[in-house]
Amino acid sequence: MQGLFRYEQKETVIHRIDPRIKLIWVFSISVLTITAGVPWLLVAIFLSTLPFWILLRPSKEKITSIVFIFLTMVFGFMLSQSVFYYWGETPTFTIIPADFPVIGYITGGIHVYKEGAVYGLIQSARFMSSVSAAMLLVATTHPSELIAGTVRFTRIGKKWIGFPNEIAFMVSSAVNFAPVMIDECMITINAMQVRGLKMKGIRNKIKAMKFLFFPLVVNVLRSGRQIAIAADSRAFRATKNRTHFRELRLKGLDFVFLSYIFVSTGVGIYLSYIGYGSSVPGG
């Protein structure tokens, strides 16, 4: 779980693709998940991200963590939507009837709807596709390249078009925040176990969470202060036009992947237009 949101330094095809092209790909996947509405099309969009994971060749631990996250996502969406499906008319079965004391009166009864489970599956497929593409972007793009790609996205004449340096720095820091938090949690938990804290059982784990909160907050604030000092020592925001160690230039592989993005996005939008698009639930 520690390396789930961390950049992996490898020499693969997906690593050599320009970060701007990968940003366009993540955006196109997000667009397709919004426009598509039938389960098979959403599953196809999700499956289209798997070949790139094969190219990445992740470790078994990372594969296990990703599968666990995706299965938890599917189960959570299907369970929540099957119970709280607003548009359901005929429940598959009832958990708490409407005439049940107090809870039934407040909620009007708690029912499980098959249509809600299907809708939860559709929503989970949308999230899994976007999350899979975003995790690939993080795992195959160095933070410095991600900053360079967002700041200098495209060039018109002599002017670069992209996000401000402050926004790019904030995005890069946010991307690195998850692995830093996980590392801090593991270090703190190991330190508490060495000092005799027991982690077996639900009660002990809840107790450990209470002891984990304050050291974690202090460590995160300390890390944030170190990042701020490092940025100031390197004269961040001292000049408007910053230089970059590596200049991004599109190559043949980038144009091939960009063509794939345009074709797949066009086909997906066309299928959504002819009747396989998203619709209002219950409509």
* pLDDT computed for residue 143 by the predictor: 79
Report residue 2's pLDDT band, with 50, 70 and 90 as the boundaries: low
* pLDDT computed for residue 241 by the predictor: 67
* pLDDT computed for residue 4 by the predictor: 67
pLDDT at residue 283 is higher than 60: no
Contact 111, 88 (CB under 8 A): yes
Q: What is the pLDDT of residues 204-226, one digit of tens each?
A: 777 777 777 787 788 778 877 88
Q: What is the pLDDT of residues 190-201, one digit of tens each?
A: 887 787 777 777
Q: What is the pLDDT of residues 107-131, one digit of tens each?
A: 677 778 888 888 888 888 889 999 9
Q: Which residues, at least 6 apart from 25, have a Cβ–Cβ distance to it below 8 Å?
A: 133, 137, 257, 261
Structure tokens at 243: 């230089």
- Any idea where the domains of the chain sit in the sequence? 1-152+246-283, 166-243
Q: What is the pLDDT of residues 64-93, one digit of tens each?
A: 888 888 999 888 888 888 887 777 677 777
Share of the chain above pLDDT 90, in %: 16
* pLDDT computed for residue 245 by the predictor: 66
Q: What is the 3-state secondary structure (H, E, C) of the chain?
A: CCCCCCCCCCCCHHHHCCHHHHHHHHHHHHHHHHHECCHHHHHHHHHCCHHHHHHHCCCHHHHHHHHHHHHHHHHHHHHHHHHCCCCCCCCCEEEECCCCCCHHHHHCCEEECHHHHHHHHHHHHHHHHHHHHHHHHHHHCCHHHHHHHHHCCEEECCEEECCCHHHHHHHHHHHHHHHHHHHHHHHHHHHHHHCCCCCCCHHHHHHHHHHHHHHHHHHHHHHHHHHHHHHHHCCCCCCCCCCCCCCCCCCHHHHHHHHHHHHHHHHHHHHHHHHHECCCCCC
pLDDT at residue 1 is higher than 60: no
State pTM to two decimals: 0.77
Q: What is the pLDDT of residues 217-270, one digit of tens each?
A: 887 788 778 877 887 787 776 666 666 666 778 889 999 999 999 999 999 999
* pLDDT computed for residue 192 by the predictor: 78
* pLDDT computed for residue 279 by the predictor: 58
* pLDDT computed for residue 81 by the predictor: 83
Report residue 3's pLDDT band, with 50, 70 and 90 as the boundaries: low
